[in-house]
Structure 1
């Protein structure tokens, strides 16, 4: 699953995350934040709020 962190007008960092991370409660909270900030009609790559913790979350979700 590909995500981009940052605002619509920013380039953002592309993050590749395993889909199993969707089961994590922190991902549910992050997706709620994204819906509030960017709306539910996003096209293309899923854009999420830019948070310092995203990098560690993505690293935890990489397939072994």
Structure 2
């Protein structure tokens, strides 16, 4: 669970950074692509953790 929280925090930080860069007029296509990938990894990690927890209950 701690890994998930760290990844969530990292994503939140990246969203903030992208917003600041965009406000300053920077093109953030690379950062947005990396953020999309990080979000996909987080979703996969959360799904995996949920499956493990469900198996532990059985």
> TM-score normalized by structure 1?
0.32
1 or 2, which has the higher helix percentage? Answer: 2
> TM-score normalized by structure 2?
0.34
Structure number with larger C-alpha Rg: 2
